[in-house]
Structure 1
Amino acid sequence: MLIKILIAVGGYYLYRRSKGRRRPRTSHLARTAPRSADAIGAAGEVATQAKLRETLRWLCGDEFYLHDGPLVIEHAPGTAFPTAEIDHLAVTPFGIFIFETKNWSGHIAPSVLPGNLTRTSHSGETEDRRSPLAQNRTKLRFLREQLPDMWPVAGAGVFTSPTAVLHRDLPIDLFSLNDLPYWLRHKRDSCKERSPVDVRRATAAVLMYADTSITALTDHKARVTTEPDFSTGINPSD
């Protein structure tokens, strides 16, 4: 009897040790918790960056510049908001392009408020959000003022979520990720009569106004923590 008890105790001890070594299970709540808005936005930017690189290689071969990640430019030194963030910068022989990425889901339509778009969720709730084109406006104006007229500068808003449905009356410069190659091809074809952009010189000219320090993006985000007022169209990150 004593031997049986010892064997049972030893078996239980080994069982407890093996169970303790197992990787703890992730709770159901942790598995199903939604990702943060920042994580969702970052995923959309990664997808756009990959699509841009693929498309530019298709159109331009090796003759292009695609900035690696967001770029902070100093467009208003001495003011409360001296910097602006560009999600994606591409320099090509047919123009300089900046892209604002949005990973919004639901139905995206024009808004009655200038500079805004109306998003309707899958549950039917509506809200107005700042249009990517409005967010690009200040950046485009700044670059056009600083760069030679012979270098076309344009911007667009890219919606990356596969569940986003775009209204037919949205401007042509707002499109889904899958339409990015066609938009850029149209830009290339519309510039065939112009002299090609010197990609190297144009890139250097744009980066003259960039803050490329390690803390540039963090510092910029800290300055624009003020919540945008959608009713007035004021957004300090524009």
Structure 2
Amino acid sequence: MTSLLGVAAIGYFGYRFARRAPRLRRSMPARVEHQHNAPPATRAMIRGEAGEAAVRAELRRVLAGLCGNDFYLHDGAVLVQHAPGTAFPTAEIDHIAVTPFGIFVVETKNWSGQIAPAASADDVVRTGADGVAEVRRSPLAQNRTKVAFLNRKLPSVWPIEGLGVFASPDCRLHPGLPLPLIHINEIALWLRLRRSEFATTRKKPVNVRVAWDAIMLNASICGRGIEEHRKRLRAHAKDPANDAV
């Protein structure tokens, strides 16, 4: 009798599981598809994200010492719609630091080797440990349209400046580079100097909350929008027709 009850119980639970199984199978492809749609992280992406995290942490540490709680640094990228109607209507800002003495648009690079001036002011020359030199776009040139956009949209009384920060400890900067190109170890001194210079102007300090709200009227921190922007850049980079550009 006991064995018959056991067989009946097994049959019942087997029947219940069989009825649930189709629902489980239907739910699995959506999760797998979502994972496959996410682009695989490359070494360059991982290195870039590590550099941005290091610069963000140093900015936060320095600004807390200079401003107490009176500053804002968004924990992530900020997207500006600087060229609507074009193939690339958006631009991504690595960091925006809003302080009482100015708004700073920061482009981060985690490059190793020596960084020196190039023939064009829009470029720099990066020479690696193997001695191979290559011309790369300057972080200041990458920041130029973003800074110009914010200058058009925000009150002129708020100082807005672009800054390029190199995060790698194996990076050496040539003394002939423009002053707004700095190493992560120079962030503290650079911001101290900017605060001191602003104090000599006797201008009214930037209202941090108002300034950030104004930035958000012209920018976005939406994750979906940022990912769409990055997809456009990846598609452009993969197009063979762009090799000569």
Q: TM-score range by the shorter chain?
A: 0.7 to 0.9
Native 8 Å contact 2:77 2:221 kept in 1? no
The alpha-carbon deviation at position 227 of structure 1 amounts to 3.6
Identify, as 1 or 2, the structure richer in helix. Answer: 2
> Secondary structure of 1:178's partner?
helix
TM (normalized to structure 2)? 0.77
Match of 2:221 among 198, 212, 229: 212
Give deviations 1:5-35, integer Å, cap 9, x for gaps: xxxxxxxxxxxxxxxxxxxxxxxxxxxxxx7
Q: Which residue in 2 is equivalent to 1:25?
A: none
Q: Which residue in 1 is equivalent to 2:187?
A: 180
> Secondary structure of 2:223's partner?
coil
The alpha-carbon deviation at position 62 of structure 1 amounts to 0.2
CA distance, structure 2, for counterparts of residue 114 and residue 181 of structure 1 = 25
Give deviations 1:188-228, integer Å, cap 9, x for gaps: 11111211001111000001112232311110111223249
- Alignment pair present for 1:145 and 2:152: yes
Match of 1:122 among 129, 134, 140: 129
CA distance, structure 1, for counterparts of residue 64 and residue 160 of structure 2 = 20
CA distance, structure 1, for counterparts of residue 204 and residue 222 of structure 2 = 34
Match of 2:69 among 56, 62, 65: 62
The amino acid across from 1:75 in the alignment is: H
- Alignment pair present for 1:113 and 2:120: yes
Q: Which has the higher contact order (CA 8 A, sep 6+)?
A: 1
Give deviations 1:57-104, integer Å, cap 9, x for gaps: 000000001011111111122221111000001100001111000000
- Alignment pair present for 1:90 and 2:105: no
CA distance, structure 1, for counterparts of residue 60 and residue 126 of structure 2 = 29
Percent sequence identity over matched residues?
49
Q: Which residue in 2 is equivalent to 1:203?
A: 212
CA distance, structure 1, for counterparts of residue 222 and residue 128 of structure 2 = 38
Give deviations 1:125-180, integer Å, cap 9, x for gaps: 01000000000000000000111111000010000100101001001100100100
Aligned residues: 196
Match of 1:50 among 26, 45, 57: 57
Gaps of 5+ in 2: 1-41, 239-243
Q: Which residue in 1 is equivalent to 2:14?
A: none
CA distance, structure 2, for counterparts of residue 102 and residue 146 of structure 1 = 26
What is the root-mean-square deviation of aligned Cα atoms in Å?
1.6
Gaps of 5+ in 1: 1-34, 229-233
The amino acid across from 1:57 in the alignment is: A
> Secondary structure of 2:84's partner?
coil
